[in-house]
Each structure stands twice: as structure tokens, then as C-alpha cells.
């Protein structure tokens, strides 16, 4: 049972004086822990909050970018980093514009690896852009 902040405050104000009179001030604070809610795992709370806040594309982009080195292993992962996932188009930033021409033949491989890692339909297309160019684009 989850108590609201107001209910927790009310309980603290009512129960703590009773515990003070029963156990004394020093021991009452320790005994009060028996009347508080059970501890919850912070990772569960954060993931629940993030699941409700972020839309599907943001969650998928986070999954892609955090597992990028596993999806695209080796030096290819260092050449192109995920920058944005918008309407099924994944923008990969490359360090140098010459890499765009070099990596273009590998885009089908990238798409297949991304689909295998996060699921079909998440990423439909990949665009290679020079590093920093997405920050100059106004939305």
C-alpha cells in the first residue's frame, strides 16, 4: 500500500509522539522505522517514471545509443555515433565528411543489426551527417 506524502506526514505527526512517550526520544526514532513504508528499488522507480515520460522513439534512441558498441562492433561504431531518431530515421554523426562516402555501403548492414537488437520497424532509414550539423538545424 502506497501512502501519499500528506498521509506519511500525518502518520509521522501522530505516531512519533506516541513512540517518544513509550520508548523515549533516542529509541523512538529507531522504532519509527517499523511504521514507515517498505524500501523500493530506485532503479524500478526511475524506469517506471521514464517509461511514462519518454515517448517510444526517445526510449528506442536511448536503447540504440547505449548499446551502440554492441550493435555495431569494432571501429565502425567509433566512426559513426547515433545522434537522433526521428520518425523512424536514425541520424548518425560522423567525424569527417569523407566518412559519409566510406560508410554508405554499410548502411544496410547497420539497419539489419539495429533491427536485430531493438526490433523491426524502429529504424527504417539511416542518414549519415557530419558531426555537429544536427545542432545547427532549427526545429
CA distance to 7, 10, 104, 133, per residue, from 34 (Å) = 16, 16, 62, 56
Q: Where are the domains of the chain?
A: 5-39, 54-136
Burial (Cβ within 10 Å: 0-12, 13-18, ≥19) of residue 128: buried
Q: Which fold has domain 54-136?
A: GMP Synthetase; Chain A, domain 3 (3.30.300)
CA distance to 11, 18, 61, per residue, from 5 (Å) = 10, 20, 34
Query: In sequence order, what are the residues at sequence separation of 6 or more whose Cβ sits closer than 8 angstroms to the Cβ of residue 106?
Result: 76
pLDDT of residue 92: 92
Grid cell 509521522 — which residue? 12
**DSSP 8-state symbol, 24:** -
pLDDT tens track of the chain, all 139 residues? 567 778 878 877 888 788 888 888 878 777 776 666 677 788 888 877 777 666 788 888 988 998 899 988 888 788 889 999 989 999 999 988 888 888 889 899 999 999 998 888 889 999 999 887 665 555 4
Sheet holding 125-130, edge to edge: 80-86, 89-94, 125-130
- The structure's pTM equals 0.58
Distance, in Å, from the CA atom of 8 to the CA atom of 52, rounded to the nearest integer, reads: 24
Amino acid at each position: 500500500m502506497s501512502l501519499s506524502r500528506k498521509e506519511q506526514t500525518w502518520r509521522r505527526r501522530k505516531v512519533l509522539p506516541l513512540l517518544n512517550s513509550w520508548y523515549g526520544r533516542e529509541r523512538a526514532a529507531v522504532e519509527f522505522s517499523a511504521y514507515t513504508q517498505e524500501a523500493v528499488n530506485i532503479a524500478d522507480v526511475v524506469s517506471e517514471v521514464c517509461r511514462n515520460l519518454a515517448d517510444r522513439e526517445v526510449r528506442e534512441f536511448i536503447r540504440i545509443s547505449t548499446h551502440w558498441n554492441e550493435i555495431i562492433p569494432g571501429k565502425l561504431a567509433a566512426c559513426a555515433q547515433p545522434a537522433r531518431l526521428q520518425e523512424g530515421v536514425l541520424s548518425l554523426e560522423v567525424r569527417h565528411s569523407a566518412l559519409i562516402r566510406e560508410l554508405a555501403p554499410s548502411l544496410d548492414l547497420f539497419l539489419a543489426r539495429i533491427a536485430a537488437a531493438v526490433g523491426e520497424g524502429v529504424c527504417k532509414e539511416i542518414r549519415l551527417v557530419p558531426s555537429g550539423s544536427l545542432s545547427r538545424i532549427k526545429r
